């Protein structure tokens, strides 16, 4: 049964006039969505939302939507300065360059800005928010984190009465697709990455995704909103998934876990004041945890509030439809004059917290070593664990032939202990000619 469309907005309400910079998959998706749901959007926004001008690199490219009805600007900065535009939608991408110039021009010229650009917000969000506040115009970026999932709105509004204790989740669909496909098929990392690229789930240059940078951008944004802190991407500790092997996936499964790339942030009180911990790393997650069942190119964010308890936001983390939906939701808020501070509270009131040092934090850890098949290697590793004060819960040694070089895999799970102890034990093994490559260190996510 189709949804009834409410009565259209009163004719006297002036439309919200927007310009779109960038007409890739998402830009074309925004135009398509605004065309398809025009009456519904006007009714919910209280007035029409109309595209009046666009800009992109190639004017003649077929994007599946009619752009001839809109004014064209070759220069995106000129687009942002048009007198007939109320809000600029920036969908170019990149932390600097044309995207940043366009955004500065829009906000500095008294126009609202909606963007899906997480890199730009992670690097320049405070500057842009301050500019928006000084110009008394809106800056919104729901689409910058987790695609169509309304997680920014959920944190900024839904949990606004809560003191959040932790924000964490699966923030990169490419990594989640690779890890869950490895889990399902038994294939190794390189093979699944190539397939993800063929299917369009991974970029031709996937470094930002598989090395954890994209998830780091998103985590920095969520932490700033969730904890009322100044955004600090430089303070995010980042480890990607490139070291994870099919054998690790299989071993995790045998132990009752799955492996997922997790971004997590929290604030801790120390004798020197509050400290912000932000990190992205692959983790073992117990089967039965809400995040363990999140597979494919899906995102999920967990927020824990002191009164709300645990909240889970889950859905499509990318794609033209979900991302366009998030962009349109921001535009509807602006049309309703529902604006607010970009990071929940004014920039001047955001706390500037130093990064937390997590060495004292307690956790269980999965450690995997690829080693030469010779006597004494296992004794060398266990001696380093002993001297580092790491207690071993279980130890697994596989025979030769784990890979084409004939290396042996040694894996272990530690008892709960300080993170610094594991680091100290691994430092004792640095330079050992028994080890073939760096050990893989995967914390076991608690809860």
Q: What is the pLDDT along the chain (447 residues), one digit of tens a residue?
A: 455 555 444 444 899 999 999 999 999 999 999 999 999 999 999 999 999 999 999 998 989 999 999 999 999 999 999 999 999 999 999 999 999 999 999 999 999 999 999 999 999 999 999 999 999 999 999 999 988 899 999 999 999 999 999 999 999 999 999 999 999 999 999 999 999 998 888 888 999 999 999 999 999 999 999 999 999 999 999 999 999 999 999 999 999 999 999 999 999 998 889 999 999 999 999 999 999 999 988 999 999 999 999 999 999 877 788 999 999 999 999 999 988 899 999 999 999 999 999 999 999 999 999 999 888 999 999 999 999 999 999 998 876 555 546 689 999 999 999 999 999 999 999 999 999 999 999 999 986
Question: Looking at the annotation, which residues are catalytic?
Answer: 218
Which pLDDT value is given to residue 139? 97
| H/E run at residue 181 | helix 173-185
Architecture of the domain defined by 361-443:
2-Layer Sandwich (3.30)
* Tally of CB atoms within 10 A around 152: 28
Cα angle at 214 between 296 and 171, to 5 degrees? 40
Which pLDDT value is given to residue 162? 94
Which pLDDT value is given to residue 5? 52
- What are the residues whose beta carbons fall under 8 Å from the beta carbon of 132, sequence distance 6 or more? 107, 112, 113, 138, 139, 342
Where exactly does CATH 3.40.50.720 map onto the chain?
Answer: 16-144
pTM comes to 0.92
Which pLDDT value is given to residue 403? 53
Indicate the pairing of strand 49-55 with strand 71-72.
parallel
Q: What span, in angstroms and rounded, lies between the C-alpha atoms of 432 and 423?
A: 15
Q: What span, in angstroms and rounded, lies between the C-alpha atoms of 270 and 273?
A: 5
Q: What span, in angstroms and rounded, lies between the C-alpha atoms of 109 and 122?
A: 22
Please give the DSSP secondary-structure letter assigned to residue 258.
E
Among 176, 174, 187, 178, smallest CA distance to 247 is for 187
Where exactly does CATH 3.30.70.260 map onto the chain?
Answer: 361-443
Q: What span, in angstroms and rounded, lies between the C-alpha atoms of 124 and 116?
A: 13
Architecture of the domain defined by 151-315:
2-Layer Sandwich (3.30)
Q: Give me the CATH code for the 16-144 domain, please.
A: 3.40.50.720
Which pLDDT value is given to residue 404? 47
Phi, psi of 231 (to 5 degrees): -65, 135
Where exactly does CATH 3.30.360.10 map onto the chain?
Answer: 151-315
């Amino acid at each position: 049964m189709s949804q009834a469309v409410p009565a259209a907005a009163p004719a006297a309400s002036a439309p919200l006039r927007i310009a779109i910079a960038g007409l890739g998959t998402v830009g074309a998706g925004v135009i398509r969505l605004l065309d398809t749901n025009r009456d519904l959007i006007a009714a919910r926004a209280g007035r029409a939302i109309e595209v009046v001008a666009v800009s992109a690199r190639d004017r003649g490219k077929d994007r599946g939507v009619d752009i001839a009805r809109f004014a064209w600007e070759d220069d995106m900065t000129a687009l942002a300065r048009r007198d007939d535009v109320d809000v600029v939608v920036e969908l170019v991408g990149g932390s600097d360059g044309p995207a940043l110039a366009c955004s500065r021009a829009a906000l500095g010229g008294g126009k609202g800005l909606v963007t899906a650009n997480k890199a730009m917000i992670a690097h320049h969000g405070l500057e842009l928010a301050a500019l928006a506040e000084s110009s008394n115009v809106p800056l919104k970026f729901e689409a910058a984190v987790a695609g169509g999932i309304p997680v920014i709105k959920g944190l900024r509004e839904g949990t606004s009465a809560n003191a959040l204790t932790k924000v964490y989740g699966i923030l990169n669909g490419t990594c989640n697709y690779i890890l869950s496909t490895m889990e399902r098929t038994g294939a190794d990392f390189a093979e699944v990455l190539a397939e993800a690229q063929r299917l369009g789930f991974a970029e031709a240059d996937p470094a930002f995704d598989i090395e954890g940078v994209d998830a780091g951008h998103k985590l920095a944004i969520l932490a700033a909103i969730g904890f009322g802190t100044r955004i600090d991407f430089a303070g995010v500790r980042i480890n990607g998934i490139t070291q994870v092997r099919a054998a690790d996936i299989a071993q995790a499964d045998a132990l009752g876990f799955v492996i997922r790339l997790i971004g997590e942030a929290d604030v801790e009180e120390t004798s020197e004041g509050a400290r912000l911990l932000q990190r992205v790393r692959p983790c073992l997650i117990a089967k039965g945890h809400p995040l363990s069942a999140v597979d494919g190119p899906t995102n999920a964010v967990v927020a824990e509030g002191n009164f709300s308890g645990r909240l889970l936001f889950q859905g499509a983390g990318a794609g033209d439809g979900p991302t366009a939906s998030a962009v349109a939701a921001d535009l509807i808020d602006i049309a309703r004059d529902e604006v607010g501070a970009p990071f929940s509270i004014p920039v001047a009131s955001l706390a500037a917290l130093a990064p937390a040092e997590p060495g004292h934090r307690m956790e269980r850890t999965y450690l995997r070593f690829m080693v030469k098949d010779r006597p004494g290697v296992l004794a060398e590793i266990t001696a380093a664990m002993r001297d580092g004060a790491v207690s071993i819960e279980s130890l697994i040694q596989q025979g030769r032939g784990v890979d084409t070089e004939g290396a042996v895999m040694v894996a272990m799970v530690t008892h709960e202990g300080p993170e610094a102890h594991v680091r100290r034990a691994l430092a004792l093994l640095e330079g050992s000619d028994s080890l073939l490559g760096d050990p893989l260190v995967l914390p076991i996510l608690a809860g």
